[in-house]
């Protein structure tokens, strides 16, 4: 006796689609658990205006600068950040013209971007707005100083 083959219905969903949908659901749940970390917290607008007067730039180079370097080493960068915070508070407390020193923060090629953000955040917290970032020369250097007028 010959058995007739039963007619198979076509599947409504391909075999792996249900498993993929479940994985997508798990991924969405994980993203929702960490959603607060994905929010944008602060923004800072940087306007890159070149220093026009070379004479003013030469005068600024003569001034007393306190140099701090970020290298990418976690321990050295920690102490550099502490020194930067102390110097920024010192600059804010004393005016530059009264004998205070300016701050020169150098970032080596192996320094982390988070170090730059940490320095910018420190400047923003004490409301020290007289700073600029020199990106044309190596190493990248951030200069910060108190009130000072070139004559």
CB 92 within 8 A of CB 144: no
Please tell me the total count of domains within the chain. 1
Helices and strands (H, E) in the chain, number of each type: 5, 4
d(CA 109, CA 72): 8
Give pTM, 2 decimals: 0.62
pLDDT of residue 129: 82
pLDDT of residue 51: 58
Average per-residue pLDDT in the chain? 80
Residue 67 within any structural domain of the chain? yes
d(CA 138, CA 108): 8
- The CATH number covering residue 122 comes to 3.30.1370
pLDDT of residue 150: 47
Residue 138 within any structural domain of the chain? yes
State the residue range of the domain holding 138: 62-144
Tokens of 139: 């190493």
How far is the CA of 125 from the CAs of 10, 88, 109, 121, 122, in angstroms?
65, 10, 26, 6, 5
Residue 105 within any structural domain of the chain? yes
Residue 103 within any structural domain of the chain? yes
Residue 37 within any structural domain of the chain? no
Residue 106 within any structural domain of the chain? yes
Residue 90 within any structural domain of the chain? yes
pLDDT of residue 102: 84
pLDDT of residue 6: 73
Beta-carbon contacts of residue 97 (< 8 Å; ≥ 6 apart)? 146, 147, 148, 149
- Give the residue ranges of the chain where pLDDT is below 70: 1-3, 11, 40-57, 59, 95-101, 147-151
Residue 119 within any structural domain of the chain? yes
Rounded to a whole number, what is the distance in angstroms from the first to the last CA of the chain?
112
pLDDT of residue 63: 76
């Amino acid at each position: 006796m010959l058995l007739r083959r039963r007619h198979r219905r076509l599947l409504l969903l391909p075999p792996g689609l249900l498993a993929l949908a479940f994985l997508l659901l798990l991924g969405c749940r994980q993203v929702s658990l960490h959603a607060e970390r994905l929010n944008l917290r602060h923004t800072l607008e940087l306007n890159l205006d070149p220093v026009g007067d070379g004479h003013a730039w030469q005068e600024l180079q003569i001034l007393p600068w306190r140099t701090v370097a970020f290298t990418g080493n976690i321990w050295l960068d920690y102490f550099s950040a502490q020194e930067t915070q102390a110097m920024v508070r010192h600059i804010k407390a004393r005016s530059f013209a009264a004998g205070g020193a300016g701050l020169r923060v150098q970032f080596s090629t192996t320094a982390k971007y988070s170090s730059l953000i940490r320095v910018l955040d420190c400047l923003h917290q004490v409301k020290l707005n007289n700073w600029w970032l020199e990106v044309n020369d190596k190493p990248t250097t951030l200069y910060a100083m108190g009130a000072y007028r070139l004559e």
